[in-house]
Structure 1
Amino acid sequence: IPLIQIQKVEIRGISKFIKLIINYTLGIMLFVVFAILYPIMGILIKIDSKGPVLYKQERYGKNFKKINIYKFRTMVADADKKKEYIEKIYKREKGFKIKSDPRITRIGSFLRRTSLDELPQVLNVLKGELSVVGPRALAIEEGDLLKGWEKKRMNVNQGITGLWQVSGRSDLTYEERMKLDLYYIQNWSIWLEFKIMILTVFRMLFGKGAY
């Protein structure tokens, strides 16, 4: 994990403008992919289990602004009702997903492994609420637990993919994730942006650390 210095954290100036262009260019391209895959994924999700095709969840965006993010549903319809019980059994660490979560559907397992469940968030990108690359948008209960230097990760638009997602994903510790998020913001460059995008494709193909 790269060492970081606690300082003012944000992407600004020409870097901010370049990132905006990248976001909307990729956003349009990904929307075309989403539009093509949506009917197929919709049928598979509906056949596999009861419930809606898309899952909506309130999360924190930039500067702790609450936004609704969209994902392909990967769990049974009443997953939220079973969440507390499941987490007690598995003793989940803060901000972590549960391995072999029994709430995940068969098609949901595939979508998570390939990260295709995140694709509907392109709608949030086109609305300017998310970036393609950036710190992961945290659920409200997770964001409320951020302390001190960890809050600096909220100074930028959150993203669909990011540095920690291509550096181990769910196999990383909570602190490692936080440090990688800040490292990305403090050391942003076009090269780092495209490096993360390329690595994201490889992670989608091989699914390491995804569950």
Structure 2
Amino acid sequence: MIAQLVPVLLAFGANLGDRGETIQAAQRELARAAGIRNLRASPLRETIALTSAGPDPDAPRYLNGVATAETTLSPHALLDELQRIEAAHGRVRDVRWGARTLDIDIILYGGRVVRDDRLTVPHPRAHERDFVLSPWLALDPNAVLMGHGRVAELLARVGDTTLPLSDPAAASAAAHADPAAHAEERDAQR
């Protein structure tokens, strides 16, 4: 029996440690994981930390990006794999919306809706988060968020406070990781 490949959208974020390297290492690990194929990562964007009290310009800044992939894993098996990768990179879950070495969220799992005590898909706040929408739009200019509409329109509505990755070494490493995904951003910076 051949397992069905389901398209997924994942969001990555980090504001502690070597943020860019951590995200890229996690993406490489995920791309090699059983049941994952065709992972394609967006350019990374930098943002002010979002805490439970709102944006915090004094907290370490986040790097964020998204990736598309295909999986044969169930939504919960995918979540287990993402949490395993987070833990391997030092993720500690002690403060909700606290600083973190790595955060990986499932934004979309095919056209499926999942709502239980462990997982909510589509992600309930993706439509209002520029740090998800902006890199997603860079990866796929025609992207649509299930239940909310075109990503370009959603981003125009919420505004884009993200910035291109400002660390030249990390930007160079990101460009070598997936040159096609970064070509549009490089062209925009010229």
TM-score range, shorter chain: under 0.3
Q: Greater helix share, 1 or 2?
A: 1
TM-score, with length taken from structure 2: 0.28
TM-score, with length taken from structure 1: 0.26
Instruction: Specify the structure having the higher radius of gyration (Cα).
Output: 1
